[in-house]
Amino acid sequence: MGNIQQHCRGITNDLLELDRPGAIYLPNDTVSGSILYNKTTKASIVLTGIIYFKKRKRKSLEKCQIKFFSTEFNLISSLNKKQNFQLHLDDHLPPSFNDIHTYPNITYTINLIINKKSKNEILSSIPICVCPRVYIDRPLLLTPLFFGPIENHISGIKLEVKINRAIFTFNDIIQIFYEMQNPNQSNIYNIQITLGIYYIIESNVWQKDLCNAAENFNNMASNNKLIRNKALINIPHKIYLPPTFKFKYGLDNDSSSFNLEIEYKIHFKVYFEHTENLWQVDVPIMICNDTIEQTENIEEEKNNEIMNVEEENDNKPENIEEENDNKPENVEEESNNMTEMNLQSFNVNTNIVENKEM
């Protein structure tokens, strides 16, 4: 299920208990537990899902919160023994991410609520983690992918990138090979490669760099015409991270509706002479739960089939090999074209970036 950890705290006491404390729940799961409540005041157990974010105004940021999920279990008053409860999650829910004090965030909480005339009171609260299983069964995306060349029209620099694949799981290693052509011999001060996460909510974007790449040598100031290098990024697993995800809640004209996108991108940051002159190229990737293993098995089966075919070919007469030698040499080119066509669903962003807070 990835690297989900408990990431927020609630108001807890001995009244409210879960059958699976600290569990990771899937959409469509049932959350069960027990409660010892012997008061005469009406009460209920309520499970809510709330998104917190900041919306950009002309001169400021407005804090917003939208309750997109809620389900309730009514308790029996004045019962001097524990009551069992069950709360069912919807079949399509976004993942929990960030803690309650970090914007944006999505928090699922089980609350013991006492129904008072003036105002409902939360007597006990326990947060839970919800993480949908992201399933992407596209074996072609597990083959090496090529991006570029991408050109900076001001300096004339062209960047080409090769990545070992486009879909990863947590704790995977991203292998990156890149080539930078610098025909005008512009002075490059530094090159940095990082992995970043993006939260996009109603056209409001939050971005955070998660980790830096480890390269085989440090990039120093250079004006070489050709720069080639490789780098490794270890996707974090010890911190809470959600998978790549898209979610839409409510109707378009509804004030409580919202669209959520969670994306991951590899940032290539090229600094010219001074650090304020930055050219940034963003290459999107996808991070899933545990679907890579299934698709890798498919790839292993295909590799085994290829090996069997090769063995059979070795046993065939030599004249068949001669016929194969006469086939067009564009077979490899066709294979590369198939990979490039598959990249049409990925948008490679390149721009000049000013140093601003997201």
Domains and CATH numbers, the chain: 16-130 (2.60.40.640), 139-292+338-352 (2.60.40.640)
Rounded distance between C-alpha atoms, residue 30 and residue 20, angstroms: 11
| CB distance 243 to 289 below 8 Å | yes
Least confident window among 23-27, 85-89, 194-198, 296-300: 296-300
| Secondary structure (3-state) at 339 | helix
Q: Compute the distance between CA of residue 232 and CA of residue 234 in angstroms, rounded to an integer.
A: 7
Residue 313 DSSP class: H
- Asked if pLDDT for residue 161 goes beyond 90, the answer is yes
At 353, the pLDDT band (50, 70, 90 cuts) reads very low
CB 27 within 8 A of CB 69: no
Residue 191 burial class via C-beta count within 10 angstroms: exposed 0-12, middle 13-18, buried 19 and up = buried
Q: Nearest CA to 108 among 97, 117, 119? A: 97
Mean pLDDT of the 67-90 span? 90
For residues 284-291, average pLDDT: 80
β-sheet bridge partners, residue 127: 109
Distance, CA of 289 to CA of 292 (rounded, Å): 8
How many H helices and E strands in the chain?
Answer: 3, 20
According to the model, what pLDDT value does residue 37 have? 79
Q: Is the peptide bond before 149 cis (omega within 30 degrees of 0)?
A: yes
Residue 214 tokens, joined: 């480890």
Rounded to the nearest integer, the mean pLDDT of the chain is: 77
> Which of residues 164 and 277 earns the better pLDDT score?
164
Indicate if the pLDDT at residue 302 is higher than 90. Answer: no
pTM: 0.74
Query: Is it the case that residue 351 has pLDDT exceeding 70?
Result: no
- When mean pLDDT is compared across 191-200, 263-272, 322-331, the lowest value belongs to 322-331
The enclosing H or E element of 176 equals strand 173-181
Q: Are 262 and 245 in contact (CB under 8 A)?
A: yes
The number of beta carbons lying within 10 Å of the beta carbon of residue 12 is: 12
